Amino acid sequence: EELNRIYSKITELINAQETTRQDIDLLILNIRLLETNMNNIEQTCFTINTHPLVIDDKFTLIKTTTERELDLLTLSPVYRTMRYPKESFVSLISNDRYLMMHQQPNLCLVDREMNIVKQKLWSYGPIWDMCWSSTLDKFIVLEKNNIYLVDENKMSVDHVYRIVER
């Protein structure tokens, strides 16, 4: 009977040792899987393909300024002033014929004599900036999320692009 008890105890210890060994093997396997996953994460990369913005020289015109043009003493006296409500957007732009400005609530074309010759109700959003495109022969008006083209002859406004926020 003592022999059976000792034999049972030995069997129990062997089983316990096997269980512990299996637990250790399982833990080692899990550690190796985690290491593999971490290595995969560290080695994960992505490629961003970018292309430079190429602007043809015939689309740009940069006039050089001279010191004489910047001499404030050579400015002539005020020729005429215009009403410019504080609710108006501050961007001004010109081409060789007109000055375009926003006078609340209109977008106005002003001639060399400072007369408003054409105007169009600006029923869109706040104007962030404007510029003249000699290539398109139109004014470009930028809002926060939209770009418009303004034809000086028809005083038409065409929506050309919507900037999608991310």
Cβ atoms of 92 and 131 within 8 Å: the answer is: no
The Cα–Cα gap between 135 and 95 comes to: 12
Q: Which domain holds residue 36?
A: 1-45
| 166 residues of the chain, pLDDT tens digit each | 777 777 777 777 777 777 677 777 777 888 888 888 877 776 766 566 667 767 677 766 666 666 555 566 776 777 777 777 788 888 889 999 999 999 989 999 999 888 999 999 999 999 999 999 988 999 999 998 899 999 999 999 999 988 776 5
Residues 68 and 128 reside in one and the same domain: yes
Residues 84 and 146 reside in one and the same domain: yes
Residue 53 lies in a domain: no
Residues 65 and 117 reside in one and the same domain: yes
Residues 63 and 20 reside in one and the same domain: no
Domain count, the chain: 2
Residue 50 lies in a domain: no
- Of 120, 117, 92, give the one whose Cα is nearest residue 106: 120
DSSP state of 70: G
Residues 36 and 79 reside in one and the same domain: no
Residues 83 and 148 reside in one and the same domain: yes
**pTM tops 0.85:** no
Residue 153 lies in a domain: yes
